[in-house]
């Protein structure tokens, strides 16, 4: 029997997810980190500058496999486990880009369930781009809509996290996980 609570923190690029996850991790919570940068960096090491742009389906398959692996890994943990993005994020990005994907992507969303999903909204004041984040702020707002749709389609009630300091946002999530 599973004795943990799986909590996803998601949102478009540059919404502060990783900062909140890092804060929670530093507070002693179990956190499973975002894997898209790792997939991107591994592809670069193989000579592919932006795998998501070069082969979106392959990139998404690697993300899906990684997120399903994180979900399985979390089964061995007890207490609250935070995820920096969840399985439905993969579908949201594929939908955003207009690319099709196999039916098992949708099935993976139903097989790998989370207890709560917190959505961080686009926030221009903190948005920055970098070598792994190629989207501009307008695109980040659009991705937010696709994330919301993917999680709703997968049957989740989303809790939007208000803007504020990293600590305020983390405390909002902690207060609302039950």
Can you give the CATH number for the domain in which 90 is found?
3.40.50.300
Domain of residue 44 covers 4-175
In terms of DSSP H, where are the helices of the chain? 17-26, 36-45, 51-54, 56-74, 87-97, 103-111, 137-153, 166-175
Q: What's the pTM value of the predicted model, to 2 decimals?
A: 0.90
For 43-88, write each residue's pLDDT tens digit. Answer: 788 877 776 667 888 889 989 999 999 999 999 999 999 999 999 9
Average pLDDT of 11-34? 93
Task: Quote the pLDDT of residue 172.
Answer: 98
pLDDT tens digits, 133-172 = 566 768 888 999 999 999 999 999 999 999 999 999 999 9
Q: What does pLDDT average to over the chain?
A: 89
Q: Which residues contact 80 (CB under 8 A, 6 or more apart)?
A: 4, 5, 7, 29, 30, 177
Beta bridge partners of 79: 4
- DSSP for 73-95, please give it: HHTT--EEEEEES-HHHHHHHHH
Of 137 and 42, more confident:
42
Number of domains in the chain: 1
């Amino acid at each position: 029997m599973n004795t943990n609570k799986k909590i996803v923190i998601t949102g478009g690029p540059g919404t502060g997810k990783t900062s909140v996850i890092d804060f929670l991790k530093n507070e002693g919570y179990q956190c499973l980190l975002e894997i898209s940068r790792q997939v991107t960096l591994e592809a670069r090491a193989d000579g592919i500058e932006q795998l998501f742009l070069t082969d979106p389906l392959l990139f998404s398959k690697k993300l899906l496999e990684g997120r399903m692996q994180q979900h399985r890994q979390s089964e061995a943990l007890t207490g609250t486990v935070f995820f920096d993005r969840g399985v439905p994020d993969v579908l949201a990005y594929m939908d955003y880009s207009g690319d099709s994907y196999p039916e098992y992507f949708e099935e993976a969303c139903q097989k790998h369930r989370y207890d709560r999903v917190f959505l961080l909204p686009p926030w221009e004041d903190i948005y920055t781009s970098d070598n792994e984040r190629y989207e501009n702020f307008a695109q980040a707002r659009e991705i937010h809509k696709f994330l919301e749709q993917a999680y709703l389609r997968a049957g989740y009630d989303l809790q939007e996290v208000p803007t504020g300091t990293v600590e305020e946002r983390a405390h909002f999530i902690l207060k609302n996980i039950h």
